[in-house]
Amino acid sequence: MNKEQISIDDIIERYPGKPEYLIFLLQDLQHAYNYISPVALALVCDHVGIPLSQAYAVATFYQSFSLEPKGEHEVRVCQGTACHLKGAPRVVEEAERKLGIKAGQTTKDLKFTLETVNCLGACALAPVAVIDEEYHPNITTRQLLKNLDKLAAE
């Protein structure tokens, strides 16, 4: 990861020890580490004074949080109706083949996470993929593979 690593304690110390700061803490941990580890979750609970079960419920409710390590590069392919009809399943199949993982998984080297999503809100541009927060409209399998090759070479 190219992000400068900061300690979990440094992140926790930024916020008062009150339950209303739970989501802010989780967001900062997700941003810093690309996931929220069990240790980090327990430390946050101790700091804000809530049960682990409550923090776990929050962390699993919001899709922006992950309790599993994610790849350096996140690839999301829309599977909404318009994207599905315009070839998104083929795009996902080729990405799975290229990366050697299934949708919802992360490569062993933590370089890529491949996900399918129900909608990216860009139906007129179908099929759509988002790679590291950058939208790729009218994506073809060839374009996606080219992007993956470029990122793998970095």
In the block, which residue shows the tokens 């300690």?
Answer: 7
Q: What is the CB neighbour count within 10 angstroms for residue 74?
A: 17
pLDDT digits (tens, 9 = 90+) for 28-51: 999 899 899 999 999 999 999 999
Q: Is the pLDDT score of 154 beyond 90?
A: no
Q: What is the pTM of this model?
A: 0.75
If pLDDT is split at 50, 70 and 90, which confidence band does 6 have? Answer: confident
Average pLDDT over residues 62-88: 92
Whole-angstrom distance, CA of residue 62 vs CA of residue 86: 29
pLDDT at 126: 95
The answer, yes or no, to whether the previous bond of 127 is cis (omega within 30 of 0) is yes
Say what the pLDDT of residue 3 is.
45
